[in-house]
Every structure is written in C-alpha cells, then in structure tokens.
Amino acid sequence: MKELTHLSLFSGVGGLDLAAERAGFRTAGQCEWADYPHSILTKHWPDVPKWRDIRTLTQEDFYAKTGQKTVTIISGGFPCQPFSQAGKRRGQADDRYLWPEMLRVIRDIRPTWVLGENVAGIVNMALDQVLSDLEAEGYTTGALLFPAYAVDAPHRRDRTAILAHAGSVGHLHREAVVNYPQAWRETRLYAGPGWKRVAGQALPWADTAGDGRQDTWPAEPGVCRVADGLPNQLDRIAALGNAVVPAQFYPIFQAIADIENMTI
C-alpha cells in the first residue's frame, strides 16, 4: 500500500488529524495559531512539524521541515465566524476570513485531495466561491452537508465538508450541496474495530497511530471555530467547542484512502 500523508491546517486540537490517522494517513504537518490547541498538538504529536501562522507556511518552508514536496491530502477548518449563525455573518468581508491563505497553501503544495470543513452557514455565503477557486486550480469539487448526530453524537451540529480532487474521479462532480443525514448514518457500519460507541455519550477514540494514545474526544457544543483567543481559564472549553468530531469525518478520509489504494 502507498504511503498516505496529511497536512492539517487550522488544526485545533487535532480532530481531523485523528480521523485521518484512523484511516491510515500519516500526519506530515500541522498549523494552529491559538496557544492552547497548539500545546495539545505538541503534546500528542511532538515530532510533527508545526506552524503557528498559516501566512508563514510556504512551499519552501514545508519542504525544509518535512522533506516532502507535497502530501496526499490537505485538510482545514478555516475560521467560521464569517459564516456562523452566531456571528455577524460578514462572510468574505470579515478580516478573519482565511480561505485565501488556505488556497495559497493548496496552490503551493498541490495535494491530490483537499478536505475543507466549515459551518452550515458557508453554503449561502461563500461555498460557491470556494468551489470556484478550487476548480480554477484544476480540482474537481463537491460538497456535503451532514450533522454530527449521524455518527451518534448527542447533538445536531451541521457541518459542511468541501471535497476536491486533483484529477477525475467518476463519482465526484460539482453539484448543489446535498443533505444525506440518514445515508450518512449508515457510514458508522464501516468505522472498524477502532471505534467504541456509547449511546448518548461522547465517542471514545481508540489508538489511531499505534502509539498507545487513547483519548476521549467529547461531542462538541454549538460553538464554531474561532480565530481569536479567550481568557486563559476558558481555553479548554473553547478548544472543545472548536473541535471536530473525528467520527464525523472519518468516513471521508477512509473513502479517500480506499480510492488511493484502489480498494474500491
């Protein structure tokens, strides 16, 4: 099997990283601005190269730190306040709108796949632009809106997954965002032996990287990813609020791994 590599942008406390590792990807790099999440990443991924400011993540620096020119997939939950129902919904006019920087990294590193994560509000405010930007770079794009309860989390928390492939994949084509909550629920059947579910509780995460880590990642409350900090005593709460439910995105990473390994 080929090596699958993953560069994580706006990493938070590593929710997407855990999902990717569970599907067989190696974390090649992480980028996170906020102090507390960065400390969590340093604790659990001590040997993975890290960046604090996405604006400093260049093709040259990535190669210098990793020895790699590209990766299989870049993922990132770029800050969502510009599109969140809880915010002022300024969209692309918001100074926290960092999609252009994520696009620049994608353009520089040219991954085979891109997985973007954001709130449901992006659908009516910037999704078309994000998809158009990726298509202009030669990617085939698609998007999916699905809730956290589809993987047995005890809350709804709709998320938008933006998927792009640098080539032609027959079943991946641009269309309106679709909502498949029931169909997505069936993906839990493919979660594999590493998953342990407790009805109505958080989803414990088994050892993803074979290094003995077994962390419990609680279901997230209805708080979006933030671009600025909170007082220190709220850092942990903020980090959990921003965290991605790994189980919600694992099926996407696993499907990509299966395609790359030609098992489907």
Average pLDDT over residues 33-55: 95
* 194 DSSP assignment: T
Band of residue 202 on the pLDDT scale cut at 50, 70, 90: very low
Model confidence at 244: pLDDT above 50: yes
Domains, the chain, with CATH or none: 4-260 (3.40.50.150)
Compute the average pLDDT of residues 28-47: 95
> Any alpha helices (H) in the chain, and if so which ranges?
15-22, 35-44, 59-66, 99-109, 127-136, 181-185, 235-242, 246-260
User: Stretch 44-72: mean pLDDT, rounded?
Assistant: 97
Q: Which of 18, 54, 73, 80 is catalytic?
A: 80
Give yes or no: 80 in active site: yes
What whole-number distance in Å separates Cα of residue 209 and Cα of residue 46?
13
Is-contact 201 154, C-beta < 8 A?
yes
Q: What is the pLDDT of residues 211-232, one digit of tens each?
A: 444 444 344 443 344 443 444 5
Percent share of the chain, pLDDT over 70: 59
**Highest-confidence range of 21-25, 195-199, 236-240, by mean pLDDT?**
21-25
Q: Residue 75: which residues within 8 A CB-CB, separation 6 or more?
A: 6, 7, 8, 9, 16, 20, 114, 115, 116, 117
79, 90 in Cβ contact below 8 A?
A: no
Place of tokens 């005890």: 154
pLDDT (0 to 100) of residue 189:
29
